[in-house]
Amino acid sequence: MKKILVWSIYTRVFHLLAMVLMLGVYLSRDEDRWLSIHASLGYAIGVLFLGRVVWGFLDIPYSTFKDFSFNIVDLKAYMLAIFGAKKSYIGHNPASSYAIIGMMVLLFLSIVTGALAYGAQEGMGIASFLNHTWFAKMKLFKEVHEFFANALMFLIFAHIAGALLDRVLHSKLILRSMVDGYKEGDGKSVRLSIFQKFFGFFWLGAAVAALIYLLASPNSLLLADNNPRVDYAKVHPAFAKECGSCHMLYPPFLLPKASWDEMMGSLENHFGDDASLDSQTAQSIKAFLEDNGAENSTKEAAVYMLSHLKNDTMPHSITQTSFWKKRHHGIEKVALNDPKIGKISNCKACHPMIEQGSINDRDIKG
């Protein structure tokens, strides 16, 4: 056997980019303010793997799909011989062949469900039209996305573990071959045509360019915030004037109808102050708050607020709800120590667009 070039520079760079982007996706998955970064990384990975699909049909030895081993008998033999002598493959062995196809399928499903969740739950991106009453159970979209994403991560770790196991048990330098591209074998070294080289450069460049563009363009089609801003001074002047004269304007969708009813019925003792209004103005504001309360909104905060009410007595304020407490755990200490916040009711210190009816995760400051 001789040393031959199995993985071209483009295939090796693809693996490196895929690992870096997947690590970024993993690290940004739970931080709300990084949601747009998470989505950008996801779309960039989509471009990267779309190019890999095309790469698999360009008749490149060892990388083309026709060279993959999908024979079930071979897969069974390969897996049963994991601790013993097993057949050597220059390119992809049966296990890695199935793993790569599985990763491509799961990645596609993760991106599609991620875009749906981003639209339905946040009202953002290309699927923002799903942020509608019919799709109020928006948590389902996120759960389906997380299922496929977790399955993808499991398969990736299993793929890496297989390579490490081969190194330990069989002294196979699979991981090193992904760095220098060389393996021991009887085949011929990979030689790329001008077209294949051009496509490889275009493919990898497109993935990097997509990531840079999306990170620099938060209002692009795939990431745009399509939640309408509300000018409450125009929509309901009395609400904006009377409520905004004493404190910031809290969007009506943050509390249910019953809470607004009780609050408007006790204005003479409004959190320790007398906020009494004449009957006509009070009734007008009350009707506006009821019509735009949490029950009539598809905003993420409204849907989650309502879903937590079964654990609450009817809340008298936003900060009394279990949903608010869960999402703002520890904020009391932060507010007291930060003069820019001062008190937990100063929502606009972290949500600068809240008085326009927007509480998007990616807008969170501080």
Look at residue 175 in the predicted model and tell me its pLDDT. Answer: 64
* Cβ neighbours around 13 below 10 Å, total: 17
- The pLDDT of residue 14: 94
Instruction: Check pLDDT > 80 for residue 1.
Output: no
Average pLDDT over residues 179-183: 79
pLDDT recorded at residue 170: 47
Q: Which residues lie closer than 8 Å to 50 by C-beta, 6 or more apart? A: none
Q: Give Cβ neighbours of residue 347 (< 8 Å, ≥ 6 apart).
A: 248, 250, 318, 354, 359
What is the spatial distance between Cα 160 and Cα 175, in angstroms, rounded to a whole number? 9
Query: For residues 85 and 77, what is the distance between their CA atoms, to the nearest angstrom?
Result: 10
> Can you tell me the distance from the alpha carbon of 113 to that of 147, in angstroms, rounded to the nearest whole number?
10
Tell me the three state secondary structure of residue 192. coil
The residue-averaged pLDDT of 58-71 equals 88
Q: What is the mean pLDDT of residues 207-218?
A: 96
- What is the pLDDT at residue 349? 85
Q: Per-residue pLDDT for 166 more than 80?
A: no
- Which residue has tokens 């904006």? 240
In whole angstroms, give the CA distance from residue 327 to residue 322. Answer: 9
Beta-bridge partners for 273: 270
pLDDT for 225-248, tens place per residue?
888 899 999 999 999 999 988 888
Which one has a higher pLDDT value, 223 or 71? 223
Q: What is the pLDDT of residue 312?
A: 59
Looking at residue 91, what DSSP letter applies? S
Percent of the chain whose pLDDT exceeds 70? 91
- Summarize the confidence of residues 249-256 as an average pLDDT: 92
The DSSP annotation for 300-344 comes to: HHHHHHHHTGGGSSPPSSGGGSHHHHHHTTTHHHHHHH-TTT-ST
pLDDT tens digits, 266-309: 899 988 888 999 999 999 999 999 999 998 888 888 888 888 87
Lowest mean pLDDT among 36-40, 68-72, 254-258: 68-72
The pLDDT assigned to 338 comes to 77
Share of residues in the chain with pLDDT > 90 (%): 42
pLDDT, tens digit, for every residue of 124-156? 999 988 887 666 667 788 899 999 999 999 998
Residue-wise over 14-41: b if at least 16 C-beta within 10 A, else e?
beebbeebbebbeebbeeeebbbbbbbb
> Would you say 256 and 306 are in contact if contact means Cβ atoms under 8 Å apart?
yes
- Alpha-carbon span 249 to 324, nearest angstrom: 17
Residues of each domain in the chain carrying CATH 1.20.950.20: 2-216
pLDDT tens-place string over residues 82-109 = 666 666 777 788 888 898 999 999 999 9
CATH 3.80.10.10 fits 2-216, yes or no: no
Tokens of 292: 């735009």
- For residue 158, pLDDT over 70 is answered with yes
Distance separating alpha carbons of residues 260 and 262, to the nearest angstrom: 5
Residues 6+ apart with CB under 8 A from 255: 263, 289, 293, 294, 305, 315, 317, 318, 321
What's the whole-number average pLDDT of the chain?
A: 86
Task: State yes or no: pLDDT of 71 exceeds 90.
Answer: no
